[in-house]
Amino acid sequence: MAGLGTWSLTRVVLIVLLLPGSLAECGHISLSDSIVRLGDPVTASCVIGQNCNHLDPESEILWKLESELQPGGRQQRLPDGTRVSTITLPHLNHTQARLSCCILWGNSLQILDQVELQAGYPPPTPYNLSCLMNLTTNSFICQWEPGPDPHLPTNFTLKSFKSRGKCQTQEEPIQECVPEARQSHCSIQRKHLLLYQSLVVWVQAENALGTSLSPQMCFHPIDLVKLEPPTLGTLDPSPEGAPAQPDCLCFHWESWKPSLYMEQKCELRYQPQLGEASWALVTPLPSRTLHHKLCGLLPATAYTLQMRCTRWPLPGHWSDWSPSLELKTTERAPIVRLDTWWRQRQLDPRTVNVQLFWKPMPLEEDSGRIQGYLVSWRPSGQVGAVQLCNTTELNCTFHLPLEAWEVALVAYNTGGNSHPTSVVFMESRGPPLARLHAVARDPHSIWVGWDSPSSQPQAYVIEWGLGPPSPSGSNKTWRMEHNGNITGTLLQENIKPFELYEITVTPLYQDTMGPSQHIYAYSQEKAPSHAPELHLKHIGKTWAELEWVPEAPELGKSPLTHYTIFWTKAQKQSFSTVLNASSWNFVLRGLEPASLYHVHLMATSRGGATNNTGLTLMTLALDESELHILLGLFALLLLLISLCGAAWLCCSPRKNHLWPSVPDPARSSLSAWVPTIMAEETFQLPSLRDPSMPPIAKITVLEEEEKKPGPWESSDNSGTCGVPTLVQAYVLQGGPREASTQPQPQSSTNDQVLYGQVLESPTSPGPGHYLRCDSTQPLLGGLTPSPKSYENLWFQTSPLGAPVSPSPSQEDDCIFGPLLDFPLLQGLRIHGVEGMGGF
């Protein structure tokens, strides 16, 4: 399908370009110049002949540059019927473009003619022309730089001719040499040249816009000869010769055979095979010697060597660098100083065990590789030495006779042995250090210092390793300080945090040494390992005495700064106190009897704090007699509080909360104490008959002992009526109540209230007698001052819900007459008196 689509598109394009067939012969484009400088203007004309009469004479001729329509075409018609369209492109900025003359045919644009436009620059001048005579290929080769691209096809030609003298005259031209496309070198065969005759050479560059020539060169071909590089090889060492020096390399070379009879000079360059090392140059090397010894190199190092040659003293070109030759220098004997230290232990009266340690200290930047170490001892009276150790380690253990006091130590490799180091086992007879101290600088270093002894040492040996419980002498590190004037050094090798180290310092003198002194120090101090155990010495009901045994000072740790005792009750109540580090006992006070306590001790130093396992104790319980005393005291206290409360309730003028709120008659006025009257309890009272009646608060109706008519029997005497046997009531002081629907405010209980007693007999003709009383007892014991309607027998409810009182009878008048003088009687309910249902 893809191929079919491509074929169809091609067919359509051909139809557009070729149909109708006569259109291809109608138009013709003529140019002012088809190749111009880039950016210059171009003028083009399109002519449509008179034989194209089938075209619409009014159709316009259009121009296209590549795919863009170009405006500005000028249309004209000649007398013979020919139509001409001319266009000028002001700036041609395309190095290569197609210009088309078109006409609108139907609904499509038809191309009448098409031309190719090219734009570029004249050829630049070639430069850097150089030539050489290659004796291997017998050709004269020249090369040059073509310069920037002119964007136009450019042809280069190597031109030359033979000359005499200083190339002032041209004699015989030499065949021109045209390089291959896009090549900038060309070769002239040896047969066209004379090696000792002057030759003039130059390069010509040419394109559609012009021609340029390079500067001419004048020379003899023999002066431009380039030799082939020599061949390098290795020299085999002679059996009888001296051993090779560790910093030298010996090699030889062979010159190119055609140049054997030429005077030459050569250059050598070498490079160590060590990363990004650069080349080093050695010049000149005479070619006649054909061998060379290169010294000053690194021992045991591989090198790469290359060599090149040229004619000398005559002019010529350097040959290329020869193929590489790789050689390796031999090792040199180690150049080191061996610092030594030892430990001795006598095994029996004639033999001693020696543990020898050493450290290689390089004396040069490249001191040589060390393959191993040899320890030897030369017995007195013997010529040869006895080998004690041959090891690659930095220590060795061996046995020696008790009288042996010196051994020799050397380092070796394939290049030989280092200078021997004499190890003399000196006796400890020098003065000791005055004082030794150590402190941790950080978790990975310890500073150890000392006071200089009385005699100035030559050096110091410092040893350090893990302290107890590590085995003594295991994995110890040591170092020798050769400056005897120092009074301290920083230890950083093999130091780990939170570890105890044993540090030993020994002064070394001219022929002896001082006694070793040691100290323990932590690289970073930890908290104490454990705190003392608490013991209960004595205990009581409210106290407990504790004691403990202080721990011995730990190696390398700072002393304790203080103790802290914590005790906790079962209810999680915690207490603590701080004691100084010299304390060994403490008494806990203020405890509760028969209580459980948990106690623990914390020991604190500069490195931290540690708790012990703790102690649990229980205080003693109280005795029975003590318990009785406490209960008695508690009962006495409770009684005292009760009495105080009762006195306060009785004597306090404030409101009493133990009984209903009733005003004190002696301290308040009944006229001001009016209970709240609800709307549904409002009723009318008859007015008092005697407004001048003194205020009376209590009445008592007494019955005569002699027999009399029934209390509710009628009598002819309308002025007299029966009364209940005993009626006690309380009335409000004040005027007659008026009918009101508004609630009355209650008066303060502090107003004075007076009591009154009424004595009256049913047969007595006169009015009742009133007796005044100043009692302060409560008036109403629990009765509501304002009774509800259902508590009064004479109240009835009307159909409308308002309370109404029944119309009183004659007896009711007798009852209400005197009693309604006391308003409080309205709230009384009299029990035990028959015939008073209406009361």
Look at residue 276 in the predicted model and tell me its pLDDT: 83
pLDDT tier at 5, thresholds 50, 70, 90: very low
Mean pLDDT of the chain: 76
Top-confidence residue, 366 or 544 = 544
pLDDT tier at 274, thresholds 50, 70, 90: confident
Q: Which helix (H) or strand (E) holds 545?
A: strand 543-548
For the domain 127-226, what is the CATH superfamily, name and number? Answer: Immunoglobulins (2.60.40.10)
Is the pLDDT reported for residue 697 higher than 70?
A: no
Q: Which helix (H) or strand (E) holds 129?
A: strand 127-134
pLDDT tier at 33, thresholds 50, 70, 90: confident
Rounded CA separation 554/383 (Å):
55
Instruction: Identify whether the C-beta of residue 602 lies closer than 8 Å to the C-beta of residue 563.
Output: yes
What are 549-553's contacts with CB under 8 Å, separation 24+? 549/584, 550/584, 551/603
Domain 336-424 sits in CATH at 2.60.40.10
Q: Tell the burial category of 346 from Cβ atoms under 10 Å away from its Cβ (0-12, 13-18, 19+).
A: exposed
pLDDT tier at 326, thresholds 50, 70, 90: very high
Is the pLDDT reported for residue 452 higher than 70?
A: yes
Is the pLDDT reported for residue 805 higher than 70?
A: no
> Which amino acid, residue 503?
I
For the segment 502-531, the average pLDDT, to the nearest whole number, is: 88
Rounded CA separation 517/239 (Å):
58
Look at residue 771 in the predicted model and tell me its pLDDT: 45
Domain ranges within the chain, ordered by starting residue:
20-120, 127-226, 231-328, 336-424, 434-522, 534-619
The sheet that has 291-294: what strands, in order across it? 231-234, 249-254, 291-294
User: Given CA atoms 662, 663, 665, 666 in this order, what sign does their dihedral have?
Assistant: positive
Neighbours of 473 (CB within 10 A): 11
Fold equal for 20-120 and 336-424:
yes
For the segment 440-449, the average pLDDT, to the nearest whole number, is: 90
Rounded CA separation 337/360 (Å):
6
pLDDT tier at 816, thresholds 50, 70, 90: very low
pTM over 0.75: no
Question: In this predicted model, what pLDDT tens digit does every residue of 211-230 receive, in sequence order?
Answer: 999 998 888 888 888 888 88
Name the fold adopted by 434-522.
Immunoglobulin-like (2.60.40)
Tokens read off for 244: 């090779």
What percent of the chain is predicted at pLDDT more than 90?
23
CATH architecture of 20-120: Sandwich (2.60)
Look at residue 355 in the predicted model and tell me its pLDDT: 92
Which residues 6+ apart lie within 8 Å of 633 measured at CB?
none
Residue with tokens 């009598």: 715
Query: What separation in angstroms does the CA of 766 have from each of 259, 351, 652, 763?
Result: 186, 156, 45, 9
Q: Where are the alpha helices (DSSP H) in 599-714?
A: 624-651
For the segment 719-742, the average pLDDT, to the nearest whole number, is: 39
pLDDT tier at 396, thresholds 50, 70, 90: very high
Rounded CA separation 421/415 (Å):
18
> Which amino acid, residue 62?
L
Look at residue 338 in the predicted model and tell me its pLDDT: 92
Question: In this predicted model, what pLDDT tens digit does every residue of 165-199 receive, in sequence order?
Answer: 777 777 788 888 889 888 899 988 888 877 778 88
- Per-residue burial over 389-402, b if 16 or more Cβ lie within 10 Å, else e, is beeeeeebebebee
CATH architecture of 534-619: Sandwich (2.60)
Instruction: Identify whether the C-beta of residue 139 lies closer than 8 Å to the C-beta of residue 152.
Output: no
What percent of the chain is predicted at pLDDT more than 70?
73
Question: In this predicted model, what pLDDT tens digit does every residue of 148-160 receive, in sequence order?
Answer: 999 999 999 998 8
pLDDT tier at 472, thresholds 50, 70, 90: low
Q: Which of 276-290, 337-351, 664-678 has the lowest mean pLDDT?
A: 664-678
Nearest to 544 by CA among 535, 553, 555: 535
Name the fold adopted by 231-328.
Immunoglobulin-like (2.60.40)
Top-confidence residue, 681 or 350 = 350
Top-confidence residue, 230 or 51 = 230
Tokens read off for 759: 């004595």
Is the pLDDT reported for residue 667 higher than 70?
A: no
Instruction: Identify whether the C-beta of residue 561 lies closer than 8 Å to the C-beta of residue 604.
Output: yes
Rounded CA separation 233/216 (Å):
43
- Terminal Cα-to-Cα distance of the chain (whole angstroms): 129
Is the pLDDT reported for residue 839 higher than 50?
A: no
pLDDT tier at 23, thresholds 50, 70, 90: low
Top-confidence residue, 758 or 482 = 482
Look at residue 742 in the predicted model and tell me its pLDDT: 41
Candidate ranges 468-482, 552-566, 670-684, 803-817; pick with highest mean pLDDT: 552-566
Beta-bridge partner residues of 789: none
Top-confidence residue, 172 or 677 = 172
